[in-house]
Each structure stands twice: as structure tokens, then as C-alpha cells.
Amino acid sequence: MNPELLETLSKLVWNVLGYLGGLSVVGTLLYVMLKKTLERAVDSRFDARLEKVKHELQLEQEKMSVVYENQKDSLRKVLIATHNATEAIERRIDGEGGDWLPISETNENDFSRVVSEEALFMDNSSDHALRLFRERMGTAVQYQEIYPSSEKVSRAYNQMKFISDRLAEHFRIRVGLEPSTVEPLLDVKLLGACCLINRFHFSEFDMPTRGPLKFQENSDAAQLIAIVRENPELLKSELSKLKRAISSKYSSFFFEALTEVDRYIRMLDTLKERKS
């Protein structure tokens, strides 16, 4: 019931009755009766609108419930796919302490298929993490004329496990659970930037990086990110160097990489602003 509307109508009835014969006993009774009639009429209209709103909210809740359940199922499938991918590498270790043998394109295709099927429920940060996971996985795959070394496969496995663990923490946040890591996918973005400065070969610009962020034999992704967290300016400096290298001669060939470098630099600038 709208109180303002009822008050206005009540005053109108009161004035009309006063004009017709003053507030006699009969007038007062008529006023009370008309007021109750108006209340019932307004209540009826309000109740109808309320029921309509409740029905719409119930339908929306049911839709969101379906979306939520589908999202949980989708996130679970993606995590299983990352687990299967790392497990495929584990199965290729040549005995205890032996070489890390490459996996097949079939393993890569299986992972890519799941990610494509579940892309609808992935946010931008998850999408970036999964692209990086697939890129790292690709360095452990045996293609027709490419046979990655044991060191490369081992490094790929370590980085894939790192991404998978952070992705699982992010998914916990997505479904409303308490994470054990603050901003878990920030570490994945930092790893992506480290991969970029280790990827390109521009000797005149000392690329790939030759400093503390260089991929070493048996290098650990968590240790690398710890260095970056301690000194983010180091990573920014290497990214800026890579940007100069690409911009000087190769911008038309590596436009996508240049865009990615700029995105990582902006991310580091934002982190610096947040800390200050």
C-alpha cells in the first residue's frame, strides 16, 4: 500500500463529506467506510504488483542458480583438464631421476578441447591463465620436427603446476569459498611476463633476459615470482628493453607480443601505485 496515495485520497474524502454535511456521525461513518474501501483497493493493487515482482525475482533466482551450477561444473572440468595435462607429463618421466620425455599432440588437443568447450564461463583472468598454461604445455609437446629437451619438459611441468594451483585458488573465489592466496592470478600474470622476456632472441638488446629472471636449469616458477614480487622494477626494466627491441625493427612481425608487453608494463605500474 502506498501511504502517500492513501493519505491524499483520505483527505479528499474528508473534504467532500465536510462539504456535503459536515462531520456528523453519519458523515464520520461514511468516511471510515470509504477509507477502508480505499485501503482495500490500494492494498489489492499493491499486492498484485508485489506478487509480480516476487515472481520475477523467483525466476531470476532460478536462472542464476542454473548458471551458478553450470559454472561450478565448468570450472571443475577445466581443473580436471589441467590435472590430466600435468599427469600426462608425469607418466613420461623415464624412471626415478630419469629424463623428462615430451608428451604428444593428442594430450595438447585434449586439453584445448575442454578449454574451448568451457570458455563461456571463463573470466578474462582465467582466460589469460589458461592461454599461458596451454603455451607452457606446448613447450613440452613433441611435434613432427621438434623434440623438446628434458630440461624444457621439466620446466614446462613446473610452470603448468604453478598455474594450475593458482587457477584452483581463483576458482575457489569464483564459487564463494575462502582462498588461501590473495589475488592468485596476479602471480600467473607475472609468470607470463617472465616467459615473454625469456622467449624472444634479440642479441643486440641482450634478449632473452640474462639477469636473475632468466630461466635456469631446474628453475622454479614460485622462486622466480618471489624475485619479481621483491623487485617488480627489475621485471619492468626487462619488459621495457624487450619493447625497445620489438619497436626498433620488428613491430609489424610481433605486434601481438608488443601489445602484450604494454599490458604487462601497465599492470606493474598499477601495482606500484597500489603500494604507494
At 223-260, the pLDDT tens digits run 999 999 999 999 999 999 999 999 987 777 888 889 99
> Are 261 and 243 in contact, with CB atoms under 8 Å apart?
yes
What digits encode the pLDDT tens for the residues 45-86? Answer: 666 676 666 656 665 665 567 777 888 899 999 999 999 999
221 domain-assigned: yes
Gap between the Cα atoms of 18 and 266, Å rounded: 74
Q: Given this model, what pLDDT does residue 29 score?
A: 56
With respect to residue 34, please indicate whether it lies within any of the assigned structural domains: no
Residue 258: inside a domain: yes
Could you tell me which residues are beta bridge partners of residue 93?
Answer: 100
Q: Within a domain: residue 270?
A: yes
Computed over its alpha carbons, how large is the radius of gyration of the chain? 32
CA dihedral 210, 211, 217, 221 (to 10 degrees): -130
Answer yes or no: is pLDDT of 130 > 70: yes
Note the pLDDT of residue 266.
Answer: 95
- Which residue do the cell numbers 563461456 mark? 120
Position 242 in a domain: yes
**pLDDT band, residue 12 (cuts 50/70/90):** low
Domain presence at residue 55: no
Helix (H, G, I), strand (E, B) or coil at 30: helix
Number of structural domains the chain divides into: 1
Q: What is the pLDDT of residue 23?
A: 46
Whether residue 263 is contained in a domain is answered as yes
Q: Does 30 have pLDDT greater than 80?
A: no
Q: Which burial class, exposed, middle or buried, applies to 227 when counting CB atoms under 10 A from its CB (0-12, 13-18, 19+)?
A: middle
Range of the domain at 227: 182-276
Residue 241 belongs to some domain of the structure:
yes
pLDDT band at 217 (very low <50, low <70, confident <90, very high): confident
Q: Give the residue with greater pLDDT, 194 vs 276.
A: 194
